Amino acid sequence: MRIRTSAGLAAGIVLAFGAAACSSSASSGTGTGTAGATSAAAGAPTAAIAGAGSGTGKTLTVWYMDGDLSDAAVKAINDKFTALTGAQVKVQIQQWDGINTKVATALAQDNPPDVLEIGNTDVPLFAASGGLSDITSALPELQGSQHWLPGLEGPATVDGKSFGAPLFAGNRAVVYNKKIWADAGITTPPTTFAQLTADLDAIKAKNTAPDFSAFYFPGKYWHGALQFVWDAGGQLATSSGGKWSGSLATPEAQKGLAAWKDFVGKYSSPASRDVETTAPDFNTLFAQGKTATILNTSINPIVKVDASLKDQIGTFPMPSATDGKTQPVFLGGSDLGIATKSKNQALALAYLKAATDPAVQAAAIVGIDHWIPASTEVIDQTISSLPPTSQAFFAAAKTSVPTPAVAGWATVESDKSIDDFFADIATGRKSPADAAKSLDSHLDQALNASVG
């Protein structure tokens, strides 16, 4: 699922996490959009993206998810598309309830929507069923000189073929109480992991209440814990010869797991080790002064609990164990995919080009809706215009790692096995090696399961 927060840049960046898919039943326009477009059955649009005037008189059907992009941001994309092609856009907003089933049903129909917003980690699910067009040949024209964020582009790249273009993202950064830190003698955020742990040691020494955490880090928080695994060079799973294998037992992953367990054991309260971020709500714990620091999606949920804290909150990217770097992050967000059975393949590609256009990304995705944009270039272009509490999230997003680009990943996310894995390690129920052996076995099965 995708977890959302809402507010404007004044309070902190709006971010999205987890995975989701979107689509529903709708009618598509008629016509091929431009000469040279492949047939709907082929599902591989031409790299020659529709030019100005080629779509005059045609209408493209596009599905967006409720609560993602604002009407103004969607209008900016649509206006760019119409200027590029002359075609019009019919937008249909989809609800979250039962969305994966709606997507699968819609993509199997003969009159699907042309373009769909799909949660980045769910793209492999629909690519594997044959519902999404292969857009690999169009990537040079779509990307131009941009470098798309790996956490958005990676999950949409299945067996070396691309089935989606990135739309927007969100991620995590360190959120801290500047007053508690200052009371411990710390007035500037750390830039190295060694500095971070030294600062947390000082905060821990200053605050000795048994229920206080210098850095509250729930055990069932895989999105955050994985950063330590990736930072050590480990991976969840790797693919070879079309077969996926769990990789948490590798020396690199074990090093990251040991570092994470040590970090949680030193700086987070014992009560945190077998719970999620919502039970108890770590935003409330932060607002109550029970912790000085958390790894969060935004400052907004804290401000919602206690608005008076707004100017007391600071942010910074989680430092890497390697000086000069930050930990790789998990990106949750959306990609745009093209239905294989769409009769408007080239026009649909033109829509993806409009949505990923750097000017549109800067003005609409960042400027209007305050999401993290699709590329590092647009991050660099816009980051200086953001409030300080938002800049940390943009900076952190430049280093990301994708989850396994395979349909079975949806099973791993939904069955909570990965959260239980980290909780087992945090509580000591299992050693990192034993826990990895168990989850690797589950990953081997889930990631290699055939799509029904």
pLDDT at 40: 31
pLDDT at 252: 98
The answer to whether 266 touches 273, Cβ cutoff 8 Å, is no
Mean pLDDT, the chain, rounded, equals 89
pLDDT at 35: 27
pLDDT at 50: 62
Residues in the chain: 452
CA–CA separation, 249 and 316 (whole Å) = 30
pLDDT at 41: 32
pLDDT at 49: 72
Reply yes or no on whether the pLDDT at 356 is more than 50: yes
Report strand pairing: 115-119 vs 59-65. Answer: parallel
The full set of domain ranges for the chain reads 2-170+331-397, 173-329+404-447
State mean pLDDT over 214-228. 98
Compare 211 and 23 and report the one with higher pLDDT. 211
CA–CA separation, 193 and 71 (whole Å) = 41
Q: How far is CA 311 from CA 9, 192, 253, 308, in A?
A: 13, 24, 38, 7
The answer to whether 49 touches 353, Cβ cutoff 8 Å, is yes
Q: Which residue has the tokens 């699910």?
A: 125
Reply yes or no on whether the pLDDT at 31 is more than 80: no
Distance of CA 452 to the CA centre of its chain: 26
CB-based burial, 393-429: b 16+ in 10 Å, e otherwise: bbbbbbbbbbbbbbbbbbbbbeeebbbbbbbbbbeee
Q: How far is CA 114 from CA 91, 101, 133, 286, 317, in A?
A: 10, 17, 10, 44, 38
pLDDT in tens, 233-265: 999 999 999 899 999 999 999 999 999 999 999
Binned at pLDDT 50, 70 and 90, residue 52 comes out as low
Reply yes or no on whether the pLDDT at 16 is more than 80: no
Distance of CA 168 to the CA centre of its chain: 8
pLDDT at 54: 80
pLDDT at 23: 30
Q: Which token pair is 233?
A: 């060079």
pLDDT in tens, 263-319: 999 999 999 999 999 999 999 999 999 999 999 999 999 999 999 999 999 999 999
pLDDT in tens, 134-149: 999 999 999 999 999 9
pLDDT at 11: 32
State the burial class of residue 19 (Cβ atoms within 10 Å of its Cβ: 0-12, 13-18, 19+).
Answer: buried
State mean pLDDT over 428-438. 98
CA–CA separation, 107 and 105 (whole Å) = 6
Sequence-distant (6+) residues with CB within 8 A of 403 are: 19, 121, 154, 155, 236, 330, 409, 413
Compare 451 and 32 and report the one with higher pLDDT. 451
pLDDT in tens, 85-136: 999 999 999 999 999 999 999 999 999 999 999 999 999 999 999 999 999 9
Pick one of 1.20.58.1290, 3.40.190.10, 3.30.1330.20, 3.40.50.11540 as the CATH number of 2-170+331-397.
Answer: 3.40.190.10
Reply yes or no on whether the pLDDT at 202 is more than 80: yes
State pTM to two decimals.
0.89
pLDDT at 55: 87
CA–CA separation, 152 and 374 (whole Å) = 7
Binned at pLDDT 50, 70 and 90, residue 34 comes out as very low
Q: What would the 3-class secondary structure string for the chain be? A: CEEECCCCCCCCCCCEEECCCCCCCCCCCCCCCCCCCCCCCCCCCCCCCCCCCCCCCCEEEEEEECCCCCHHHHHHHHHHHHHHHCCEEEEEEECCCCHHHHHHHHHHCCCCCCEEEEEHHHHHHHHHCCCECCCHHHHHHHHCCCCECHHHHHHHEECCEECCEEEEEECCEEEEEHHHHHHCCCCCCCCCHHHHHHHHHHHHHHCCCCCCECCCCCCCCHHHHHHHHHHCCCCCEEEECCEEEECCCCHHHHHHHHHHHHHHHHHCCHHHCCCCCECCEHHHHHHCCCECEEEECCCHHHHHHCHHHHHHEEEECCECCCCCCECCECCEEEEEEEECCCCCHHHHHHHHHHHHCHHHHHHHHHCCCCCECCEHHHHHHHHHHCCHHHHHHHHHHCCECCCCCCCCHHHHHHCCHHHHHHHHHHHCCCCHHHHHHHHHHHHHHHHCCCCC
Sequence-distant (6+) residues with CB within 8 A of 11 are: 299, 300, 303, 310
CA angle 222–227–228, rounded 5-degree value? 105
pLDDT in tens, 357-405: 999 999 999 999 999 999 999 999 999 999 999 999 999 999 999 999 9
State mean pLDDT over 67-81. 97
Find out if CATH 3.40.190.10 is the number for domain 173-329+404-447. yes
CA–CA separation, 355 and 63 (whole Å) = 13
pLDDT at 296: 97
Reply yes or no on whether the pLDDT at 322 is more than 70: yes
Reply yes or no on whether the pLDDT at 47 is more than 60: no
pLDDT at 3: 42
